[in-house]
Amino acid sequence: MRVAKIIGNATATVKHPTLAGWRLLVAQPTTADGRADGDPVIVLDNLGCGRNDLAMITSDGASLRAMVGSKQCPARWAVIGILDR
């Protein structure tokens, strides 16, 4: 799990069928003090994150496949919580 700042939306003209209905966001992983840590990642979101929100993201494949409901899901990252400020 990582903390990340949502920095934008991602648009896909074609999505894998398992991603139908899921929002794609661009998230910047951060350090504990809020500095950028690595490259931005694309995350799946069904919690309603908005730009500049802080979110908990996970790359746990089993959890992600369970959330999506498919063993064929090609996604790597997903939002699992929105952090209060």
pLDDT tens-digit map of 40-85: 999 999 999 999 999 999 999 898 899 999 999 999 999 999 998 7
pTM: 0.90
Helix (H, G, I), strand (E, B) or coil at 1: coil
| Number of domains the chain contains | 1
* pLDDT score at 36: 97
Containing domain of residue 28, as a range?
2-82
Helix (H, G, I), strand (E, B) or coil at 61: helix
pLDDT at 6 over 80: yes
Measure CA 34 to chain center.
17
- 60: domain CATH number? 2.40.50.220
